[in-house]
């Protein structure tokens, strides 16, 4: 039988009509899925199935799911890989167990939809994993030090009223931070902390973050702008974090637009994803945080010059974490090295005259995000 004729054959399999263009190559849907999966599985090598792995102690990894396109696609990809491993015959084993953690999006921002149905749908669709959903304010219960840290950070006013619920406390704390940039900055730190605490509570040795290459590039630029350059090594690079939990960013070789394209190829996946809110509709550039602004920039410019954005992340990946030597303190809020105690007193504008210990418990980046009391 003569071979099928295609007007626009896929350059990989040459056995199907190409339906999309990826990095200048015309591919069919299946080959694109294969291509994107390959990029992610390569980043998961650290956790591959090992022949002599102890049978009684399987590795456990935490996947924080925000229902954004990236973390949802990551769950879909890893689920597929684990399902294939589990289906490999009577002695089949999977390389690790996945614990999916959802910090209820409606407790992070009231503009997010309620996600009870999504939570049920995602468990039904990927039933082989463990799932937990928690509210954002549960950080006050799970993280024993956070209340003291928040009190020092925002001033004692916000914990004065003992009748306040955890949710009210967290709301008051977040409301005390004035600029959009600082609010998003501190929210991200609190979310990070909550996720790390949960990873430890569930016995997970690592966290699989759903950051795309675009997101990592935006995060790199934003962190430098916010004076948080020193935490880039664990916020962007694969490796150990200050909390003894391994951080991995398996989507680091895919742009956000490529993950959106991936989601379109998988029937039903877009029903789980919460679409990004169009920026122009609900906020002006003045109320955008620097994180949001840079994400917008990376996505628009990244579409034109994808190599440049990939380069930002590749450059950061070459950074070595600064060793924490004796006499150095870790920031009470974000865990970054806060320098030596002497360094810090002078690091914050206006804080040079303050000599109390509290001041030195925060790094430069966090001190900059503090409510106005520092700069008064
Ligand atoms: Zn193909
Ligand atoms: Zn800090």
Predicted local distance difference test score (pLDDT) of residue 326: 64
Cα(253) to centroid of ligand 2, in Å? 28
pLDDT digits (tens, 9 = 90+) for 269-290: 999 999 887 665 455 666 788 8
Contacts of 303 (CB under 8 A, 6+ apart): 257
Separation between Cα atoms, residue 25 and residue 105, nearest integer Å: 37
Q: Which residues surround ligand 2, an ion (CB under 5 A)?
A: 331, 333-334, 336, 363, 366
26 in helix, strand or coil? strand
pLDDT digits (tens, 9 = 90+) for 109-143: 888 888 999 999 999 999 999 999 999 999 999 99
Q: Which of 194, 178, 160 is nearest to 64 (CA)?
A: 194
Cα(150) to centroid of ligand 2, in Å? 12
> Picking from 41-45, 251-255, 265-269, 360-364, which range would have the lowest pLDDT averaged per residue?
360-364
Q: What is the mean pLDDT of the segment spanning 184-207? A: 96
More confident residue, 282 or 91: 91
CB atoms inside a 10 Å sphere around CB 191: 16
Where do the domains of the chain lie? 1-43, 57-321, 329-376
The encoded tokens of residue 68 equal 């954004």
Separation between Cα atoms, residue 28 and residue 8, nearest integer Å: 10
Predicted local distance difference test score (pLDDT) of residue 350: 40
Q: What is the CATH number of domain 57-321?
A: 3.40.50.620
Q: What is the mean pLDDT of the segment spanning 322-327? A: 64
The encoded tokens of residue 166 equal 């955890």
Q: How confident is the model at residue 2 (pLDDT cuts 50, 70, 90)?
A: low
The per-residue pLDDT of the chain, averaged, comes to: 86
pLDDT digits (tens, 9 = 90+) for 229-266: 888 888 899 999 989 999 999 999 999 999 999 999 99
Instruction: Tell me which long-range contacts 176-184 makes (C-beta under 8 A, separation of at least 24).
Output: 176/371, 177/369, 177/370, 177/371, 178/371, 178/372, 179/289, 180/287, 180/288, 180/289, 180/292, 181/226, 181/289, 181/290, 181/291, 181/369, 182/368, 182/369, 182/370, 183/289, 184/289, 184/290, 184/291, 184/292
Q: Give whole-number Cα distances, 281 to 192, 285, 294, in Å.
A: 28, 11, 17
Contacts of 352 (CB under 8 A, 6+ apart): 345, 346
More confident residue, 337 or 347: 337
Q: Are 266 and 76 in contact (CB under 8 A)?
A: yes
Q: Which of 90, 89, 81 is nearest to 49 (CA)?
A: 81
Q: What is the mean pLDDT of the segment spanning 219-236? A: 87
For the CA of 189, the nearest ligand: 2
Q: Are 152 and 332 in contact (CB under 8 A)?
A: yes
In the predicted structure, residue 348 carries a pLDDT above the cut 50: no
Cα(228) to centroid of ligand 2, in Å? 8
pLDDT digits (tens, 9 = 90+) for 138-183: 999 999 999 989 988 887 766 666 788 999 999 999 988 888 888 8
More confident residue, 352 or 302: 302
């Amino acid at each position: 039988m003569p071979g099928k004729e295609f007007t626009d054959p896929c350059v990989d399999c040459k056995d199907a009509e190409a339906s999309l263009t990826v990095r200048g190559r015309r591919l069919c849907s299946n080959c694109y899925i294969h291509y994107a999966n390959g990029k992610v599985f390569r980043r998961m090598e650290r956790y591959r199935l090992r022949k002599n792995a102890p049978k009684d102690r399987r590795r456990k990894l935490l996947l924080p799911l925000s229902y954004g396109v990236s973390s949802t696609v990551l769950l879909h990809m890893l689920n597929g890989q684990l399902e294939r491993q589990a289906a490999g015959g009577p002695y089949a084993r999977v390389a690790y167990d996945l614990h999916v953690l959802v910090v209820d999006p409606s407790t992070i921002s009231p503009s997010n939809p309620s996600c009870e149905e999504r939570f049920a749908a995602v468990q039904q669709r990927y039933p082989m994993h463990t799932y937990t959903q928690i509210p954002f304010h549960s950080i006050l219960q799970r993280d024993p030090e956070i209340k003291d840290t928040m009190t020092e950070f925002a001033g004692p006013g916000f914990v004065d009223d003992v009748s306040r619920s955890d949710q009210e406390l967290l709301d008051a704390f977040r409301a005390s931070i004035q600029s959009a940039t600082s609010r998003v900055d501190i929210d991200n730190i609190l979310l990070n902390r909550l996720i790390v605490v949960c990873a430890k509570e569930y016995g997970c040795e690592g966290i699989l973050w759903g950051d795309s290459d675009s997101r990592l590039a935006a995060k790199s630029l934003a962190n430098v702008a916010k004076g948080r350059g020193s935490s880039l090594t664990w916020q962007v690079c694969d490796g150990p974090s200050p909390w003894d939990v391994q951080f991995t960013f398996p989507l680091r070789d895919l742009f956000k637009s490529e993950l959106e394209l991936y989601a379109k190829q998988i029937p039903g996946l877009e029903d789980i994803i919460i679409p990004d809110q169009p920026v122009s509709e609900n906020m002006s550039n003045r109320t955008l945080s620097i994180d949001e602004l840079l994400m917008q920039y990376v996505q628009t410019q990244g579409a034109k010059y994808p190599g440049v954005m990939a380069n930002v992340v590749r450059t950061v990946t070459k950074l070595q974490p600064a060793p924490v030597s004796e006499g150095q303190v870790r920031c009470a809020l974000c865990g970054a090295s806060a320098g030596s105690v002497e360094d810090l007193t002078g690091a914050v504008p206006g804080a040079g005259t303050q000599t109390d210990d509290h001041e030195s418990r925060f790094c430069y980046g966090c001190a900059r995000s503090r409510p106005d009391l520092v700069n008064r």
